[in-house]
Structure 1
């Protein structure tokens, strides 16, 4: 420290503070939101802290200062968090006849309330599905519409409930036979999870489509956020994360009773650095981490590459490809699709 200039001493002080905060954020996925709701909100800025640590590392590296070791160690210990935030290269393997594709998409009620100033949203989504032809299709924030045709799917399970005079729910469409289906209701919430047991050849797979408690931050908000609005958003996030914890526990319980290989997809409404993500994912694989590329942004928020839509698979399901369609803007979410193969343990 004695050999550092006064400016570098100040920079190193901030570097130390950032290090402490980053290590705290590393432990947050293990802390229940019900116990520490204010800390849970902190998980949302972990990517920013990783970026700042990288900038500090470069700052000291260019000066050939040993202080670079501080941020270097932080980044090394957080390498698993980095892969959840950004993937430098996606893995794509050759297609096989046994492969199948799954698409998950929060369709925002097919623009029922005209959030977007266009009338072609339902037709565009239907055309998009026909173009990419996923074998299994999962919709969140789904509402039945006579003018939207998914007749190419022989099998389906649709769950809806009445909400503000509109039918709000989820749907699973499949080219393979559905032999069982059901839902996991969430207490005092319009959100829920649905599932379908799908017969593919001689195998049966269970597919869950989830829509956890919304944090109710619209991507359409562009006004200045003052101190009062910040408090409202903070309290809203804290309350939502506590609700999500209980919902994640219900999913965990339901998973334990399932004897089939599982796929969980849908809108988690939380980051990959959260307690809720860790709870729902468990020992399963994150398809984006397996074969994704870039930020994997799935929510159309202007100021942050938010990935809140996921596909989790059992360990013996191979993830061969993962795509986020960020140029298809017909909802506040982007569709995600993955190509999978089920390989039984030998």
Structure 2
């Protein structure tokens, strides 16, 4: 009887895994509750691993079922828990392309963020500027083209990260304030930018994407995308309160659910726009983004079906990028097209100035690309 019950639970777990994987393919603007089923996939995969161990000890032929599921869903497991103890096998035919991506939270320009004497702002801009990356993609970028009476030259970030470091800047401005300061996205490149453009997500949002076609020294042209997708507009404290107590869940739960739904739907439409744009690109693609979504989401799934995720391909561990009280949250990502070999990937936990940790990766083209 016990074995029969355990076998039924194993079959139900396998069905759960398959259902959750299928749910990741459903756009939230069509059936938004499917997103919750997809988000449950890590739990289902964990249970499947548990049943594998159980049957290996009890009756090994039955273990073949959860083992087959583990093998077939290994790429999905790697999304949330990457395991590469031996490191990647990389062809060194080409010079590496080093990429840094970071949501810099407008360099903490607001008084409540920047600290005394602009300490965190200065430290963040200095670290980004002096980073050895060949290409830098920044989300929630901020720049003051001219010195101001209040801030001096602290926030002349285009000059400090770009011209002073030998990088060509491309800033996609989503908002400009009364002093001419620029908010938006930015790409900086040590290689020539031969073409550039922006990808709007609609008139009702400042979130958007940008791209730059970059000519590498060996003559290949690549396309670098930088994007910031729709935020959930959910305060961290509200989320913590909602799961800390029944009273908190009752007070905050419904409002959080509404905002969560709006964010899911918006990001799904935005990633569809990005996917169509990428499908028309004939160059090898590098993609950096603050997705504001988890690895087990429609947003991530649409990208992972077409591109390699740098952390999932060569990283280790969870790779959390959110610098806050919510644990194990990875919403900042780098992706690469199939033409690339990913040499390494790192989350910079030593850089605490923003609510996002920077990420860096090194890429090499697998073979000569025909232009």
Aligned with residue 112 of structure 1, among 109, 123, 129: 109
- Partners of 2:66 and 2:316 lie apart in 1 by 25
Unaligned runs of 5+ in 1: none
> Does residue 1:209 correspond to 2:226, yes or no?
yes
Contact map agreement 1:106 1:141 (CA 8 A) in 2: yes
3-state DSSP of counterpart to 2:351: coil
Corresponding position of 1:142: 141
- TM-score with structure 1 length normalisation? 0.86
Contact map agreement 1:25 1:43 (CA 8 A) in 2: yes
> How many angstroms does 1:295 deviate by?
1.4
Of stretches 111-120 and 252-261 in structure 1, the one that deviates more from structure 2 is 111-120
Corresponding position of 2:122: 123
> Does residue 1:177 correspond to 2:192, yes or no?
yes
CA change 1:286–1:144 in 2 (3 A) is same
- Partners of 2:82 and 2:105 lie apart in 1 by 27
Contact map agreement 2:82 2:313 (CA 8 A) in 1: no
CA change 1:260–1:239 in 2 (3 A) is same
> How many angstroms does 1:257 deviate by?
3.4
Aligned with residue 172 of structure 2, among 149, 159, 173: 159
Of stretches 154-163 and 217-226 in structure 1, the one that deviates more from structure 2 is 217-226
> How many angstroms does 1:249 deviate by?
2.0
- Equivalenced residue count is 341
> How many angstroms does 1:310 deviate by?
1.7
Deviations 1:282-338 (A, max 9, x none): 422222233222212222354442222222222222211111112322212111111
CA change 1:216–1:65 in 2 (3 A) is farther
CA change 1:216–1:60 in 2 (3 A) is farther
RMSD: 2.9
Of stretches 324-333 and 55-64 in structure 1, the one that deviates more from structure 2 is 55-64
3-state DSSP of counterpart to 1:157: strand
> How many angstroms does 1:68 deviate by?
4.8
Corresponding position of 1:81: 76
> How many angstroms does 1:210 deviate by?
0.8
> Does residue 1:222 correspond to 2:217, yes or no?
no
- Partners of 2:325 and 2:46 lie apart in 1 by 18
3-state DSSP of counterpart to 1:143: strand
Of stretches 91-100 and 268-277 in structure 1, the one that deviates more from structure 2 is 91-100
> How many angstroms does 1:136 deviate by?
0.5
> How many angstroms does 1:228 deviate by?
4.5
CA change 1:238–1:42 in 2 (3 A) is farther
Aligned with residue 300 of structure 1, among 319, 323, 329: 323
Aligned with residue 52 of structure 2, among 54, 57, 65: 57
Aligned with residue 41 of structure 1, among 25, 36, 42: 36
- Partners of 2:256 and 2:236 lie apart in 1 by 13
- TM-score with structure 2 length normalisation? 0.81
- Partners of 1:97 and 1:67 lie apart in 2 by 47
- Partners of 1:301 and 1:317 lie apart in 2 by 32
> How many angstroms does 1:197 deviate by?
1.4
CA change 1:177–1:332 in 2 (3 A) is same
- Partners of 1:154 and 1:97 lie apart in 2 by 21
